[in-house]
């Protein structure tokens, strides 16, 4: 599971991208990303998650988002991309998928 | 003649400075009367515009100049923000949001700006660089629920 915090913007997206790539190297059956501590996400952050999702799909892995707060959800909604992701309310819910 | 901006800031094109500008825009948007959701989207749109200047105008150089001017507007009530830079100029007609059916990372910034703002106008800046004017008005609900302010230096 990955649990980034703070703001995911242009200055931090590459750090998150590297962290995701590192976890995906071991090809887990499922990667849960807990966004509960993320206060802000811009399109760089969204692009990073799209890349992670596409990588997961290519490798038959599950990629699940949890703890998507209102501001992060708004960013996803305005780009009409929220429907692409599997989103759960809690980590516990995500582990059951 | 245009009134002087109520807030005028100049920053370098360093992504690490964007969080400070977000905080400033958020605070002024709250004073104007935008709801939490609108403030989030407005802040996101301004952030995306600045990120585009850094990425495309200055090609990720961190020593370019960006000027941010901000006004509260009165009729209709809202906020007006003008961003200017000295980076690479592009034809404003070529600035388009991408097709959201084409699911790929990147290129979402212009779409976010156009969806969020009531007005967004890119122009070539006399003397080089680009100028982007962004305007967002309070929604009828926000107008009804907010306390009217009487700023002296607002654009009628």
User: What is the structure's pLDDT at B74?
Assistant: 87
User: What is the structure's pLDDT at B105?
Assistant: 58
User: What is the structure's pLDDT at B140?
Assistant: 93
Q: List the domain range (segments joined by +) for residue A19.
A: 5-96
User: What is the structure's pLDDT at B114?
Assistant: 95
* B51 closest CA partner among A9, A39, A16: A9
User: What is the structure's pLDDT at B99?
Assistant: 66
Going through chain B in order, the beta strands assigned E by DSSP cover: 7-12, 65-73, 78-85, 119-124, 130-137
CATH, residue A27: 3.30.750.24
Whether this model's ipTM surpasses 0.85 comes out as yes
Neighbours of B10 (CB within 10 A): 10
User: What is the structure's pLDDT at A87?
Assistant: 96
User: What is the structure's pLDDT at B63?
Assistant: 98
Question: Phi and psi of B51, rounded to 5°?
Answer: -65, -35
CB contact under 8 A, A50 and B105: yes
Say which range, B4-8, B100-104, B144-148, has the weakest mean pLDDT.
B100-104
CA distance A40 to B44: 9
Which value, to the nearest 10 degrees, does the dihedral of the CA atoms of residues B148, B152, B155, B156 take? Answer: 70
Q: Are A64 and A94 in contact (CB under 8 A)?
A: yes
**How many structural domains are present in chain A?**
1
CB contact under 8 A, B37 and A51: no
User: Tokens in use for B155?
Assistant: 């654009």
Residues of chain A under the 50 pLDDT cut: none
Q: Are B58 and A92 in contact (CB under 8 A)?
A: no
Widest Cα–Cα separation across chain B: 46
Which of residues B153 and B13 earns the better pLDDT score?
B13
All domains in chain B, ordered by first residue: 7-145 (3.30.565.10)
CB contact under 8 A, B103 and A47: no
pLDDT in tens, B17-62: 999 999 999 999 999 999 999 999 999 999 999 999 999 999 999 9
CA distance B83 to B132: 5
- What does the mean pLDDT of chain B come to? 90
pLDDT in tens, B71-119: 999 888 999 999 999 999 999 998 887 665 665 556 789 999 999 999 9
Residues of A in contact with B109 (CB under 8 A): 43
Positive or negative, the CA dihedral A66, A3, A60, B99 is positive
Residues of A in contact with B108 (CB under 8 A): 43, 46-47, 79
Residues of A in contact with B37 (CB under 8 A): 70, 74
Where does residue B107 fall: left (phi above 0), alpha (psi -120 to 50 degrees), or beta otherwise?
Answer: left
User: What is the structure's pLDDT at B104?
Assistant: 59
């Amino acid at each position: 599971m990955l649990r980034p915090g703070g703001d995911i913007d242009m200055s931090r997206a590459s750090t998150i991208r590297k962290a995701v790539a590192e976890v995906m190297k071991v090809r887990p059956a499922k990667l849960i990303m807990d966004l509960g501590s993320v206060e802000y996400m811009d399109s760089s952050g969204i692009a990073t998650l799209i890349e992670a999702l596409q990588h997961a799909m290519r490798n038959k892995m599950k990629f699940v988002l949890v703890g998507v707060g209102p501001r992060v959800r708004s960013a996803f909604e305005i780009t009409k991309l929220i429907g692409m992701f599997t989103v759960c309310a809690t980590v516990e819910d995500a582990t059951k998928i | 003649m245009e009134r002087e901006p109520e807030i005028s800031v100049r920053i370098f094109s360093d992504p690490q400075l964007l969080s400070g500008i977000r905080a400033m825009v958020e605070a002024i948007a709250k004073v104007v009367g935008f709801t939490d959701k609108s403030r989030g989207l407005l802040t996101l749109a301004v952030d995306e515009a600045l990120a585009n200047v850094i990425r495309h105008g200055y090609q990720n150089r961190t020593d370019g100049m960006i000027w941010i001017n901000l006004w509260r507007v009165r009729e209709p009530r809202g906020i007006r923000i003008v961003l200017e830079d000295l980076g690479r100029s592009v034809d404003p007609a070529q600035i388009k949001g991408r097709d959201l059916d084409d699911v790929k990372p990147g290129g979402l910034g212009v779409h976010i700006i156009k969806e969020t703002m009531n007005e967004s106008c890119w122009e070539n800046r006399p003397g080089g660089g680009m100028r982007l004017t962004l305007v967002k008005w309070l929604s009828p609900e926000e107008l009804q629920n907010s306390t009217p302010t009487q700023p002296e230096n607002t654009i009628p």
